[in-house]
Structure 1
Amino acid sequence: MAEPPGAVLVVVPTYEERENLGPAVARVHAAVPHADVLVVDDASPDGTGELADELAAADPRVRVLHRGAKAGLGAAYLDGFRYALSGEHQVVVEMDADGSHAPEDLPALLAALDSADVVLGSRYVPGGEVLNWPWHREVLSRGGNLYSRLALGVPIRDITGGFRVYRRAVLEALHLETIASQGYCFQVDMAWRAVRAGFTVREVPITFAERERGASKMSSSIVAEALWRVTCWGLSYRFGRGDIPQEPAGPVTEGARS
């Protein structure tokens, strides 16, 4: 698909990201001035939602979706996707608010849509890198990606990453109403569904940096959910129906990036 990508919406889920949100939005617009930004805030007690409203009042390219409580990263993205599909946007971006995803990489991700339907910002292809992570976090991330790649039989090297771009047609085709996964398992779920549905998925190198302000929301329950669901999907794929995954019974937890 080589046509121009069309209107772009950058979906930015937030929970207690007041210190990070303003710089993140400013950097997005410096990198891609025509992009709209949708802040999906989960009733942050630190005033992130109120700051988002202020940014939206000052700039028509910023929109805000307020949710009533902290309900997980996957659910936040799904609400953002539904918002995009209800309007004119043809390209939807996932991006963290905490500075770990460099908006300066976004033009390269968007340009890669010339030869793809889904573009993944990848830490683990040549040219990609991770900055300021403790060794155990990188081992966990690389191990989770390797396990997912082997279990699901897909050649994606960074299937858990959360900086990515979708064409509208992909989101329209992926049965979003059947997705309940959270955390970086949500990212695995979305990428695998895209592959199984026949869409072209391309990885583009990015630089991922550990957040400088605020606390990571990674937890052992997020890792456990991912292992459980990826194992179930892999077994179903290899020994069951082999179609696009439906949700197995199992834990559903609040999400975070990998």
Structure 2
Amino acid sequence: MNTHQFIKKHRKLIMIIAAIALMIVPVSAAKNAMEVDASTSKIVSLAYSKLGSKYIYGASHSMSALRNKKQRSFDCSGFVSWVYYQSGHNIGVRTTSSLRSVGRRVSWANRQKGDILLFGSHTGIYIGNNKMIHAPNSRSRVRVEKLSGHWRSRLKQIRRVVSSSDKAAVEKTISKATKAVNTNTNTSSSKYTTGNWKITVSSNVRAKATASSKKLGRLKKGSVVTVKSIKYGRWAKISFKGKTGWVSLRGAHAVRA
């Protein structure tokens, strides 16, 4: 039996199979779209729940902070990390620079709610209608702003974590990047390295590499510290009054001694 004869003989069966296939594909696509929409809506909802929260440099840069549903303070990347963790997408503890390796890059034309916006040394979350929500700086609190003028001109990259079409690839990328961040404390993209550094702005010494951890004391302006290691690109591990402490070299405006 040749192909033509087979088609002629089983024409009805072939038509039924084709019809079923046409029904399945849209249903599957619709299901994926609904899952993505629900996930991005949760991201936006969680971000909105923290409107007005206080900005503290280095806040939410620990897994314990990300797990804390009542976290009250953030910096820009800590805010993004917290929102994603709480929405079920564990991208780990992130700095703005390390967010560049999360998910995949998308164009401005293809932006969607929940996408991560990167502005050089700053980051926020896209919430639709050409608006974003972010933790701006120490003079402001978590707020919504339009992506126009200043912010639109500074936008460098958009990253997408929530996507049905490449979920497996994204999860693999997140896992790999998170492992790299957690195991490599000497961040290559950071200008800070081990050695001696001079503190030019009086700064607090913390028990952990986060601004919300216990305060051990304070370094005076002009103090010289020996840095043993760097965490998150800016937190320096030092010896302080016989204990191990952490100080933000960026916050201390540290220079090489």
Tell me which protein shows more strand as a share of its residues.
2
Tell me which protein shows more helix as a share of its residues.
1
Could you say which structure has the larger radius of gyration? Answer: 2
**Fold shared per TM-score above 0.5:** no
Higher relative contact order (CA 8 A, sep 6+): 1
Q: TM-score, normalised on structure 1? A: 0.26
